A and B are shown apart, each in its own frame.
Chain A
Amino acid sequence: MAGDRERCLAAGMDDYLSKPVPREDMEMMLRRYAAAAAGPAGPAAPADVEHPESGRIDRSTLLRAVDNDGSILEELARLFEGQAFGQIVELRAAIEAGDAEAVRRLGHALKGGLATLYAREASALAHEVEEAGRSGNPERARRVLPQLEAEVRAIPDELFELARTVAAEDA
């Protein structure tokens, strides 16, 4: 629930997962925080949702596509969270395994969802991953992964926030 997430974050927690927690979501979250704690080489810190004009999502185009419907945005956020977090976990494993075809496939899969949400930079990063796999050089995807992961992780919250903004405007 979006409300639960807000209450948890407001209470000072760093993050939130709702039950039943998919194993891969938990794993990805723990890895991310472990990497962040390990030092500056780790992925970016959790998204700062206090900057609505993050440039992460082309908001005006997205809002036009969903006809300013906040409930659609919320549904998109849930669906994206449900599939993209798992794809990131799979991607990491594919890079570790040096599996170029899996890297290509996962890069392509991530790109489809990200492009659909008009997350242009993240979509470009996913495209780089796809090309790294296609060219038989999955190791190249490793360089892109932290930034892609940070983007993917931040997008659901940004969509929820955008949904609230739209709902507030309608009220």
Chain B
Amino acid sequence: MKVVLADDDKVVVQMISAGLKKRGIEIIPAFDAMQAVMATMKSAPDAVIMDLNMPGGTGVEAVRRIKGSTKTGVIPIVAITGSATEEARRSALDLGAVECLEKPIDLDALAALLQRLTGAD
């Protein structure tokens, strides 16, 4: 399985990347919204993990772009955020994300969710 992981926080990217790699998931890291959209277009990942709180609300914009393209619209997106308030969660789901997880991310739960979303074993 191949997943684009977008967060401007390098600590978060390193932690989630290392954890998912150990669980057999290939990670394509992106550190801003533009990189996230480009990586998703280019590498056709099985799923995208997107921080919604990147500067200027650009994570939200990236989700819109990915969901708005016929090429990438079907790729499941898992939103991550520092504070998953009910409002943040709802807006993430409204945008087309399948789930909104709060940091710190439980890596076992995230890996299981990704497996389920992509129908992998």
User: Main secondary structure on chain A at its contact with chain B?
Assistant: helix
CA distance A76 to B10 in the complex (A): 8
- What is A's interface to B at a CB cutoff of 8 Å? 65-67, 69, 72, 75-76, 79-80, 82-84, 105, 108-109, 111-113, 115-118, 127, 130
Give the contacting residue for A67; candidates B19, B51, B53; CB below 8 A.
Answer: B19
Number of interface residues of B (CB under 8 A): 20
Residues of A within 8 A of B107 (CB): 65
Distance (whole angstroms) from the CB of B23 to the closest CB of chain A: 9
State whether A66 touches B9 (Cβ < 8 A).
no
State whether A76 touches B11 (Cβ < 8 A).
yes
Give the contacting residue for B10; candidates A67, A82, A118, A127; CB below 8 A.
Answer: A82
Q: Is B22 an interface residue (CB 8 A)?
A: yes
State whether B15 touches A76 (Cβ < 8 A).
yes
State whether B104 touches A108 (Cβ < 8 A).
no
Interface 0/1 of B51-92, CB less than 8 Å to A: 101010000000000000000000000000011000000000
Give the contacting residue for B14; candidates A72, A108, A118, A127; CB below 8 A.
Answer: A72
CA distance A105 to B8 in the complex (A): 13
CA distance A165 to B21 in the complex (A): 23
